[in-house]
Amino acid sequence: MNISKLNVKTASLAALSAVALLLGGCSDNDHTSSTAITPPAVTPTMQDYTINITNLTANQPMSPIAVVTHAADSVLWSSGQSASLALETLAESGDASGLTDETGVTDLINGAGILMPGASEAISLSLDSTSVANLSVLTMLVNTNDAFTGFSGYDLSELAIGESQVFRVIAYDAGTEANDEAKGTIPGPADGGEGFNAARNDTNKVHAHPGVISSDDGLSDSVLNASHRFDNPVLLIKISRTE
């Protein structure tokens, strides 16, 4: 069900005016000089969120979910651009820890462990109201060479108490490792092979994942079978603001 598209459309009408206001407000940042500006005193309060995540695939366990808070202008990946080393590591091995070193990243919260197909998990997030930031969620489809999913850069300030936002997200290909599905190249249970490898032998641009082939579908030396194939969306993410 691709209703999120519709929501975006209807919401965008209302958002247009908000965007206009934000753009106006942003001009302050353009001429930030050495002059110290005293920020107005704000009493910090906590803003609480719950992030519910469901693995929608048939047989692609997801690496521990990475929930990342970061500055509005930091982007963890962008389609058509090269993956950062941190993203490459996540997409090839499932290890999200490198994301903490990315510019503007303030916090990384990991899920409890591997999120199995059909399984759901709730991750809590509590942010100081003075530092409410953008949110990204990332995870690897572990029975692949370098597929990952998630979203990048959701503005948490859009969410009022009691509101929620649902994302149904597609699989991306980090473009850093050839999708040969060969023995020894896939870290998930289908293979138990290698995770990260610094060599980049694919398109070197992040793009929508074309899907896996599998040995059942004629790629004779693939360690994957029909059940590892997937269609979009692969992950359901619901962000709810509780406080």
Positions in the binding site for another protein (CB under 8 A): 1-3, 5-6, 54-59, 116-120, 214, 216-217, 225-234, 236
Smallest distance, another protein to C-beta of residue 142, A: 14
Q: How many CB atoms lie within 10 A of CB 101?
A: 11
Of the pair 46, 58, the CB lying nearest another protein is at 58
Comparing C-alpha atoms, which of 135, 141, 145 is closest to residue 196?
145
Smallest distance, another protein to C-beta of residue 224, A: 10
Smallest distance, another protein to C-beta of residue 198, A: 31
Smallest distance, another protein to C-beta of residue 157, A: 24
Of the pair 86, 190, the CB lying nearest another protein is at 190
Comparing C-alpha atoms, which of 147, 129, 131 is closest to residue 234?
147
Of the pair 53, 87, the CB lying nearest another protein is at 53
Of the pair 73, 231, the CB lying nearest another protein is at 231
Smallest distance, another protein to C-beta of residue 156, A: 23
**What's the token pair of residue 100?**
């903490």
Of the pair 163, 231, the CB lying nearest another protein is at 231
Smallest distance, another protein to C-beta of residue 168, A: 8
Of the pair 145, 214, the CB lying nearest another protein is at 214
Of the pair 104, 117, the CB lying nearest another protein is at 117
Query: What is the greatest pairwise CA distance in the chain?
Result: 65
Smallest distance, another protein to C-beta of residue 89, A: 26
- The three-state DSSP-derived secondary structure of the chain is CCHHHHHHHHHHHHHHHHHHHHHHHHHHHHCCCCCCCCCCCCCCCEEEEEEEEEECCCCCCECCCEEEEECCCCCCCCCCCCCCHHHHHHHHHCCCHHHHHCCCEEEEEECCCCECCCCEEEEEEEEEHHHCCEEEEEEEECCCCCEEEEEEEEEHHHCCCCCEEEEEECEEECCCCCCCCECCCCCCCCCCCCCCCCCCCCCCCCEECCCCCCHHHCCCCECCCHHHCCCCCCEEEEEEECC
